[in-house]
Amino acid sequence: MPETERRVMRIPIPVPLIREMDAVILQGIGGYSTRAEFIVDAIQERVLELSADGTEDAGPPPVAPVAHITTTRVAERAVPVVAGPTPAPTSASMPMTALAAPEDGFVVTEDADLSRPEGRPLFGLHNRDYPSLWALSKLGAMTLDRPVPIEDYFTEVLEEAWRFGELLLAIEKHTGTKCTALFPTNPAKRKPAEMGFRSFAVGDYRTDGEKYATNGPLFEWHLIGLTAGERNRPLAGVTAAGWALLAAVTGISVEEPHPADAAKAFFAHLADRAPADWKGFTEVIRAIGPDGATRQEVLDHMAGAWSDWTENEVSTNSAGYIARAREWGLVEPKQTKSHYHLTSLGHEHTNGAAR
């Protein structure tokens, strides 16, 4: 806005909320560089949400047709065509982000897997699942025949994430729809942006005797596993469950919500392999219920479901699960009269069942 329209305001903000905001800014999530940018954007989003009640979203501007993502067959496997840095197209659009993954490859079996996930709900700064599934597809492309050193995977996936972030920025500019969540897009904050993507979209590990203590979505979901490598450098590969989920979600894009069939496959996987994370979805669904719920009612319910969470954790984690529930089509994209509401798919899961 013009400089003459700016005015300094003094507003008391709870310290835990300030710390939560600062953590997002320092990690480069969303591309914010100052508190002012973050707060102004949040206010604009809230004003739009409250003032748009009863109106119909006209959707993004029309875009030129985009060719389908192509694949090439290598040893009878569909492998995404990767030819250097991803250019930022002049007519970037959502279909260009559709996941294309190999049909199969090297499998880390349960017996060989040395990773030991925490078995806990995901922290709220993991607020989108698409970036994690995108990162899984990259590991699949790297491990068609054998596992790779996990640090090599981290290096490669971060480089790819920066290039993909450029594409997402072009899509945001072209469509007006925000879609860069978790992907690194701010070169001025390169290190924090990479740390945020690695921690909240992929995961990490540490040596724990002869095993590896792991955290983060790809490990919590049991989609990737670790095997012994040279000089205590573990090798990473996709598990059988990981290959199955990749097949089920191939074709989803950064556009939200994802198709119902892909959502149901994802939910079934979480219920079976990551019940602690699935509980976050089920509790959000129960909190909202058939009649809807306010933000405070959701927070109160989540605080009761996890009595060991601090107030800040309740707020952050609840926001993360609501954002993910919206991504998968369980919760309506916008509030109505300050209430969250379930979609038809959300109503199907009001009893917490994944199948």
Query: Residue 101 belongs to what domain range?
Result: 74-249
Q: Indicate whether 8 belongs to any domain.
A: no
> Do 84 and 231 lie in a common domain?
yes
Task: Confirm if 181 and 128 have CB atoms less than 8 A apart.
Answer: yes
The string of pLDDT tens digits covering residues 36-75 is 767 866 775 555 444 444 444 444 333 333 333 332 323 3
* Global confidence as pTM: 0.76
What's the CA gap between 317 and 46, in Å, rounded?
Answer: 19
Would you give the DSSP letter of residue 215?
A: E
Q: Indicate whether 58 belongs to any domain.
A: no
Count of CB atoms situated within 10 Å of the CB of 157 = 21
Angle between helices 260-273 and 240-249 (to 10 degrees): 160
What's the CA gap between 352 and 289, in Å, rounded?
Answer: 11
Q: Which residues contact 263 (CB under 8 A, 6 or more apart)?
A: 257, 328, 329, 330, 345
User: Residue 43 has what pLDDT?
Assistant: 75
User: Residue 323 has what pLDDT?
Assistant: 97
Tens-binned pLDDT, residue by residue, of the chain (355 aa): 444 456 667 787 876 677 667 766 666 555 566 777 678 667 755 554 444 444 444 443 333 333 333 323 233 333 343 334 444 444 678 899 999 989 899 999 999 999 999 999 999 999 999 999 999 999 999 999 999 999 999 999 999 999 999 999 999 998 888 999 999 999 999 999 999 999 999 999 999 888 999 999 999 999 999 999 877 789 999 999 999 999 999 999 999 999 999 999 999 999 999 999 999 999 999 999 999 999 999 999 999 999 999 999 999 999 999 999 999 999 999 999 999 999 999 999 876 543 3
> Do 111 and 243 lie in a common domain?
yes
Q: Indicate whether 87 belongs to any domain.
A: yes
Task: Confirm if 6 and 174 have CB atoms less than 8 A apart.
Answer: no
> Do 230 and 270 lie in a common domain?
no
Looking at the 3D structure of the chain, how many domains does it have? 2
What's the CA gap between 136 and 141, in Å, rounded?
Answer: 9
> Do 202 and 344 lie in a common domain?
no
Rg (CA), the chain: 20
Q: What CATH number corresponds to the domain at position 319?
A: 1.10.10
Q: Where are the alpha helices (DSSP H) in the chain?
A: 15-26, 35-51, 130-142, 150-175, 190-197, 217-220, 240-249, 260-273, 275-288, 295-305, 311-327, 344-348
Task: Confirm if 269 and 136 have CB atoms less than 8 A apart.
Answer: no
The string of pLDDT tens digits covering residues 178-229 is 999 999 999 999 999 999 999 999 999 999 888 999 999 999 999 999 999 8
Which pair of tokens denotes residue 97? 């982000």
User: Residue 299 has what pLDDT?
Assistant: 97
Q: Indicate whether 46 belongs to any domain.
A: no
The phi, psi pair for 342, rounded to 5°, reads -80, 150
> Do 125 and 220 lie in a common domain?
yes
Which pair of tokens denotes residue 189? 């904050």
Count of CB atoms situated within 10 Å of the CB of 74 = 10
- Domain end residue (candidates: 195, 221, 249): 249
Terminal-residue alpha carbon distance, the chain: 49
